[in-house]
Structure 1
Amino acid sequence: MMGGHADNRARLDGLRAAQYDWDETGLRAVLDGISAPDAVFRLAHPFGDMTGPSAFHDNALAVLKAAWPDVERRDWIVMAGEDENGIEWVGCGGHFVGTFLNPFLEIPPTGHLAHMRFHEFYRFENGRITEMQALWDIPEVMMQAGAWPMVPSLGREFCIPGPASGDGLVREARDPARSAASQQLIIDMLNHMKRHPSQGGPEVMEMPRFWHPRMNWYGPAGIGTGRGIEGFRNWHQIPFLAGMPDRGSKVAEITYHFFGDNDYAAVTGWPNMIQTISHDGWLGIPPLGKEITMRSLDFWRVENGLIRENWVMVDLL
């Protein structure tokens, strides 16, 4: 791996370790040590933006720790690269796991083991975190507590796995050309996706050109997981586009940060979708004609030139 990206990955090792055994003093020290004093930590509703590592700890991490006293962090993807503007990013995906003993964001405790997926993207400048864009799968926790107020998911809900290849955390040195190829495959795939429905039926997306026939699409709680192209389309894409057919029409107003790391690629953006809920069909939300912004923080794994796995987090709340 290139020196800068390897160093950035290594800088997060202490943060990840401090959240595994969850030593508060050590966690604060690590956050302070690797973050710029004015770093912005972005989480979706109800947390919002927080400035400085202490604010992030006190208003988010400590809230989770109070609800799950034995909480631990388990990563299954850590990847690094630069976006098209040369900005350095590190992406982490995994779960928080712990015993749900006290209320969390007014979600009632279950007394049982609980899990909550996270996707985190850290922007590094001069060796320090200057921004974090992250999503916690709070609906996943609500479902475990029987407190999800929306319609049932169309996809399968379960504690989703990490990469089938087993190399999400430790892999061979980063190859810039291979990393760029993975990133470009994802960009090309998404550009083809945006052709439908405005330019024709599903065939204009040319999905078999990009997706492995046995691919898994791991959606957030509330949407669920789909297996294969048909599973992805039936349980996510068709209802999603039915409710918001203007998807992809305002790309000039949003910002994407794509980067690759060998066979992995990722994207973050805050926000990176703008569309209108104009029809029925998605999550039981009525067609209010309201324009919304959304954040989709994603990882992909490429296998033999095709996308075999896609982990997707969306700020449904």
Structure 2
Amino acid sequence: MDFMDQHSRHKALLSPLRAAQYDFTEQDVRDELKKLMHPDAVFHMCHPFGDLNGPDAFYNTVYAPLLTALPDLERRDYIVMAGSEDDGADWIGCGGYHTGTFTNPWLNIPATGHQISMRFHEFYRFENEQIVEVQAIWDIPEVMMQAQAWPLSPSLAREWHVPGPATQDGLVPGPYDVEQGRKTCAHIVDMLKHLSLYPSTGGPEVMQLDRFWHEKMNWYGPAGIGTARGIQGFRNWHQIPFLAAMPDRGQYPDEVTHHFFGDQNYAAVTGWPNMAQTISAGGWLGIAPMDKKISLRSLDFWRLENGKIRENWVLVDLLHMYDQIGVDVFARLREFNKSRPGFDHETGKAP
């Protein structure tokens, strides 16, 4: 490991934790977390977990209940990439899913007795060969849907088990190619700059979508939005409703952060939050216009093929968004639980 570049070294340092999470046991995962995480590491977790400090608080709050719900829990990564953002901070981004047999309720989501999957996007910031910060979204609405317990509006796009990269090369090997990583990242940043031109400076043509996106692109959105195929599918099932409801997207740069990095033909971004905009019209997720500014956490991966984006994995903390507009998704879930066997008929909570 002494002769590795820093990003390959960070991937190697993360590997034992990923292995422990694959063959998941409490002791092994706790041990690997304590080895790799700084004692004061900050975990920025999706709603409803919030911010946690230190590996013990992370395990006790997040993993212990999940392991109770899925006793045969395992984690599968299909993207592991690394790089440095412009200010020099070193990151690893991982995308994949947790899976196991849903034996006991979790977060008051009713158990199914069947195997389920839950996507994750997790980003780790390294300092001195330890992880000091984590930003992570787990696709909890995906679990609700598999339990037939999603209590809000249906998705416009396709809900399914989102695949890993078509090229099966998402576990990006070393050595790290600085120039290729920068080139891939620059393509994504340029694309996003053009996206932000619409609708404030002109019609859809100002985005130059054909220049940046492959004609057979897949946009893998979070549960609640779904997957879209092709540029027109992306426009119909995500972008048009999103921008119609929040046309001031990208107008508040001082209120957001972005951490971009590239690794070969993959690029990633994280930020907590990395979008701020106002729900000023209808059309997105069935939400009524309310002139309410919200912040969004969107953790994304892109894969380029022949110079264009062929695949884009996107997780948005939708539960956090709903919380900001006064919609308690878990409270509504519990209302349905009152008629479900095994739940308290007054509170809708699991015993």
**Corresponding residue of 1:184:** 186
How much has 1:2 moved relative to structure 2? 6.0
Residue of 150, 153, 168 corresponding to 1:151: 153
Segments of structure 2 that go 5 or more residues without pairing to the other structure are 320-351
Q: CA–CA distance in 1 between the matches of 2:4 and 2:161? A: 33
Deviation at 1:173, TM superposition (A): 2.7
Q: Deviations over 1:142-174 (max 9, x none)?
A: 101111111110110001000011111144532
Following superposition of structure 1 onto structure 2, how do residues 32-43 of structure 1 map, counting pairs within 5 Å?
32-43=34-45
Q: Deviations over 1:281-307 (max 9, x none)?
A: 000111111111110000000111101
2:251 aligned residue = 249
Counterpart secondary structure, 1:242 = helix
Q: Which residue does 1:25 correspond to in 2? A: 27
SS at match of 1:260: strand
Corresponding residue number in structure 2 for 1:5: 7
CA deviation map 1:207-256 (0-9, x unaligned): 00000001100000000000110010000000001111111111122110
**Higher Cα Rg, which structure:** 2
1:77-92 maps to which residues of 2 (within 5 A)?
77-92=79-94
The structure 2 residue matched to 1:131, chosen from 130, 133, 137, is: 133
Q: 2:214 aligns with which of 202, 205, 212?
A: 212
Aligned-partner Cα distance in 1 for 2:61–2:46: 13
Please give the secondary structure, in 2, of the residue aligned with 1:109.
coil
Q: 1:110 aligns to what?
A: 112
Q: 2:101 aligns with which of 99, 102, 106?
A: 99
8 A contact 1:2–1:174 mirrored in 2: no
Distance 1:304 1:208 in 2: 13
Hey, what does 2:55 align to over in structure 1?
53
- Give the root-mean-square deviation of aligned CA atoms: 1.0
Runs of 4 or more above 3 Å deviation? none
Match of 1:274 in 2: 276
Count of equivalent residues: 317
Query: Using the alignment, how far apart are the partners of 1:149 and 1:241 within structure 2?
Result: 24
Q: Which stretches in structure 1 are left out of the alignment for 5+ residues?
A: none
In 2, the alpha carbon distance for the partners of 1:314 and 1:170 equals: 23
Shift of 1:3: 1.1
The equivalent residue for 2:318 is 316
* TM, length-normalised to structure 2: 0.89
How many Å separate the matches in 2 of 1:105 and 1:195?
Answer: 40
2:300 matched residue in structure 1: 298
Tell me the TM-score normalised to structure 1 length: 0.98
User: Could you tell me whether the CA contact under 8 Å between 2:8 and 2:174 is conserved in 1?
Assistant: no
SS, match of residue 180 in structure 1: helix
- Alpha-carbon shift at residue 191 of structure 1 (Å): 0.3
Cα distance change on mapping 1:145 and 1:32 into 2, 3 Å: same
Paired amino acid for 1:97: T
**2:78–2:170 contact (8 Å) kept in structure 1:** yes
Paired residues of 2:43 and 2:134 also in contact (CA < 8 A):
yes
Amino acid at match of 1:5: H
- Report the equivalent of 1:286: 288
**Correspondences of 1:218-237 after superposition (within 5 Å):** 218-237=220-239
- Residue 72 of structure 1 is matched in structure 2 by 74
Separation in structure 1 between the aligned mates of residue 174 and residue 220 of structure 2, nearest angstrom: 25
* CA–CA distance in structure 2, aligned partners of residues 161 and 193 of structure 1: 25
Q: Secondary structure at the match of 2:119?
A: strand
Counterpart secondary structure, 2:222 = coil
SS of the aligned residue for 1:122 comes to strand
Q: 1 CA distance for matches of 2:314 and 2:191?
A: 15
Corresponding residue number in structure 1 for 2:240: 238
Counterpart secondary structure, 1:12: helix
Letter in 2 for 1:16: R
